[in-house]
Amino acid sequence: MINSHDILETIRMIDSENLDVRTITMGISLFDCADEDAARACGKIYDKICRCAGNLVKTGEDISKEYGIPIIHKRISVTPIAMIAAASRGKNPVCFAKALDRAAKSTGVNFIGGYSALVHKGFGPGDRALIDSIPQALSETELVCSSVNVGTTKAGINMDAVEKMGRVVLDVAKATAADNCIGAAKLVVFCNAPEDNPFMAGAFHGPGEADCAVNVGVSGPGVVRAALAKAGDCRMDEVANIVKKTAFKVTRMGQLVAREASRRLHVPFGIVDLSLAPTPAVGDSVAHILEEMGLESCGAHGTTAALALLNDAVKKGGIMASSHVGGLSGAFIPVTEDAGMIDAARCGSLSLTKLEAMTSVCSVGLDMIPVPGDTPPEILSAILADEAAIGMVNSKTTAVRLIPAIGKQAGDELNFGGLLGGGPVMEVNRWSPLKLIRRGGRIPAPIQSLKN
Amino acid sequence: MRAVITVIGKDMVGILARVSKICAENEVNVLEVTQSILQDLFAMIMLVDISNCKVPFSDLSDQLTEVGSGMNLVIHVMHEDIFNSMHRI
């Protein structure tokens, strides 16, 4: 029989340490839905999504019950809509967002990602129209998430897109100001966007992906923190070891769920994303792991080093547990979604500049950070540019999800509630980058892109 | 197919009997039982064969959860693969 200690450990991880499978995300290609007539294309999109993902939610719930593992989200990602909408006549692609929203509601998923454009080297047909429509699309739909990739290590950074996205982020916040600017929480600006990421808001189904695939995102910050707490005083080598072992177990669970979901849905298994994704729930915080390592508060000097160890050890532990690893894989540091980050931001130990440093060693970027609503668009663009540069030079993904809190100042609170959480508005550096941002053009790809 | 039933809570008379009764009623064969006292908590682990179970897995799970909550016990029923995959290479 299985060792009873192991059984009880698993039960404890689920019951008191918030172990869960964060998301089963079905990626669906929409290339075969492109049509000259936008209404016809939207009809095909709706039908295909409902056909592929009709059983997704029920299958997720069945697996959850049978294996006793909470599966929090069931979601869908689709081909970047700019690529599909480009084939249709007419300038406003918002009808595509509405078709996605309807399909999401019919299938019962809680988010659908892919109202996206990949413009890292330039704007293709359909890209500008899609980007311009993002504020309207996010304010007139509920479940649609949007993302724009503005740079890659291979292509450099499209500064025209960066300039545009600063304005778009602000416009999205304004368009949803009555609803806590929630639209901005559904918009991600990427550098090196992964094509198989199961996590929202940045999920889309890349053009190189299969027709349909199941990707699973695991989580478990609470489990890692509990394991470190149990170990007590030990050297950093041992800390890394504990994180690796824990990540291995968590990922094996994700792999099992992914395999089972793939079998039941008759859809190929794509990847497992090994991520520590926090929630505002007590005991589900990445910041608390860093504090468990020995920091008085997240954001203190030493945070970047602790996060570097954590991010690396999660990957090392997880990689052997899954046959295919992808997505973002690492530690997430969304401010409003992490109880420890929220506290650290409130007490002043965590600043935007420290967060920027942390993004150079974690799996994503500046995530879920409320900034003052009067922040000029060129400052938002400059923040995007800085993050994209960190991603480009370090050959890693960086994603920015800033929430300009309309009508609020630094220190005020913005609350979304639920898994998106809430937190204090953080001040930005007000010195102007206007001239830099107005230059436009492209930042050339760095020398490390020339690997051939 | 085999599953693991775990019962965690304060020790009292009749836990094993009630859980076994539900198993028997649903044609679930008990293969192994171990129990231990964890701090002051009672922990019982049963390995069961559910190949011939008369009801869907989720119904069995609901029945056991209901009995558990009536006795202030936390009862989980989980497919054994979850433990095999997490704890064995």
Its ipTM equals 0.87
Assess contact for A257 and A69: CB atoms under 8 A. yes
Measured over the CA atoms of residue A381, residue A173, residue A118 and residue A164, the dihedral's sign is negative
- Min mean pLDDT across A152-166, A273-287, A429-443 is at A273-287
Averaged pLDDT of chain A: 94
Encode pLDDT of A76-107 as tens digits. Answer: 999 999 999 999 987 799 999 999 999 999 99
DSSP H or E stretch at residue A209: none
Q: Give residue A1's pLDDT.
A: 60
Q: What is the pLDDT of residue A14?
A: 87
**Does residue A385 carry a pLDDT above 70?**
yes
Q: Output the pLDDT for position A417.
A: 84
Question: Cα angle at A13 between A25 and A259, to 5 degrees?
Answer: 35
How far are the Cα atoms of A108, A156, A393, B70 from residue A444, in angstroms, in the given order?
Answer: 43, 5, 11, 67
Taking the C-alpha atoms of residue A69 and residue A78, their distance in angstroms, rounded to an integer, is 26
Which positions in chain B touch A4 (Cβ < 8 Å)?
A: 34, 36, 43, 45
Name the minimum distance, in Å, from the CA of B79 to any CA of chain A. Answer: 5
Q: Does residue B38 carry a pLDDT above 90? A: no
Q: Are A218 and A273 in contact (CB under 8 A)?
A: yes
Strands A413-415 and A112-118: unpaired
Percent of chain A with pLDDT over 90: 88
* Strand A21-28 to A71-78 pairing: parallel
Would an 8 Å CB–CB cutoff place A252 in contact with chain B?
yes
Split at pLDDT 50, 70, 90, the class of B49 is: very high
CB-CB under 8 Å, B79 with A67:
yes
Question: Does B47 contact chain A (CB < 8 Å)?
Answer: yes
What are the Cα distances from residue A187, in Å, to A193, A278, A345, A402, A445? 13, 19, 22, 9, 25
Question: Quick one: pLDDT band at residue A146, thresholds 50, 70, 90?
Answer: very high
Find the domain containing B66 and state its range. 2-87
Q: Are A76 and A104 in contact (CB under 8 A)?
A: yes
Mean confidence (pLDDT) of chain B:
88
Predicted confidence (pLDDT) per residue in A169-197, tens digit: 999 999 999 999 999 999 999 999 999 99
For the segment A113-130, the average pLDDT, to the nearest whole number, is 95
Specify the number of domains making up chain B: 1
pLDDT at residue number A110? 94
Q: How far apart are the first and last CA of chain A?
A: 52
Q: Within an 8 Å CB–CB cutoff, is residue B72 touching chain A? A: no
Q: Is the model's pLDDT at A2 over the cut of 80?
A: no
Give the closest residue to A334 by CA, choosing from A422, A218, A226, A244: A422
A393 sits in which H/E element? helix A377-393
Q: What pLDDT, on a 0 to 100 scale, did the predictor assign at position A79?
A: 97
Residue A120 has pLDDT above 70, yes or no: yes
Residue B86's pLDDT is what? 87
For the cut 70, the answer to whether the pLDDT of residue A200 exceeds it is yes
Residue in A1, A2, A62 closest to B87 by CB: A2
DSSP for B4-55, please give it: EEEEEE---TTHHHHHHHHHHHTTPEEEEEEEEEETTEEEEEEEEE-TT-SS
Cα(A341)–Cα(B85) distance, rounded to whole angstroms? 32
**CATH number of the domain that residue B81 is part of:** 3.30.70.260
- Which pLDDT score, from 0 to 100, does residue B12 have? 83
**Beta-carbon separation of B83 and A66 below 8 A:** no
Q: What does the block give as tokens for A280?
A: 């505002």
Least confident piece of the model among A124-133, A156-165, B62-71: B62-71
Ordered by where they begin, the domains of chain A are 216-444 (3.20.70.20)
Task: Look up the pTM and report it.
Answer: 0.92
Query: What is the pLDDT confidence band of residue A217, given thresholds at 50, 70 and 90?
Result: very high
What is the rounded average pLDDT of the residues A136-150?
A: 97
- pLDDT band at residue B71 under the 50/70/90 scheme: confident
